[in-house]
Amino acid sequence: MNLPYKDYILIIKHTLEEGPGIIEEVFQKNCVNYIIVEFERGEKLPKELENIKGVISLGGDMNVYEKDKYPFLTEEELFINKIKSYNIPYLGICLGSQLLAKTFGAKVYVGKCKEVGFYEVEITDLGRKDNLFNCIEESFYVFQYHSDCFEIPEKGILLVKGKDCYINQGFKVDENLYGLQFHIEVEEKLLRNFGIDYDGKLKVLKNTGEKIIKNFLNISFKN
């Protein structure tokens, strides 16, 4: 990969349909350098890590246990272990969070229900002390689109819990590896692709998502 930037955020995109949404908007408004790796286009993860300040892994319609069908899942698990050794912050969203859980030995499985739509979640006591949730309300609404769920890794910390189907909604491993089951990147186009009626909800979702993204940037560029 021929890198145009000295320092940048790497975005891992698993499917063509699920893009970075408001993550890209926030980066552009704040002049943050970023590179998107698109697995469905056959692109590869970078071998050199010294210029990467943080990694964001997006969602996708595949499952973490479909490695034979999607070999890049194995590649990404190895990559997560590698960035851990370099102390590079990671933020996994939906599939990205499930990959983080699996990488560190937690069970990922088809749950008892499918969460699709808008759900209320709550930050735990430990989550309120974490920099990822600075200036975030204790309870807030998120967009969900998944049927798989994860257990928390043995050395992980539960940061966000659900009030409906699944308790485990956000967690942290090590100093700065985060997994969020819900989608913070949602914008109008993505919700339309999902066939979701978002009337009156998008502004609130974007406001929360932008704050979490900016908090992750602060974590990444302090590193």
CB atoms within 10 A of CB 121: 23
β-pair partners for 38: 13
Q: Is 210 a catalytic residue?
A: no
Q: Is 137 a catalytic residue?
A: no
Cβ atoms 57, 95 nearer than 8 A: yes
- Rounded Cα–Cα distance for residues 10 and 152 (Å): 24
CB atoms within 10 A of CB 156: 21
- Rounded Cα–Cα distance for residues 57 and 127 (Å): 20
From 18, 94, 149, 187, the catalytic residue: 94
Q: Is 94 a catalytic residue?
A: yes
Q: Write out the catalytic residue numbers.
A: 94, 183, 185
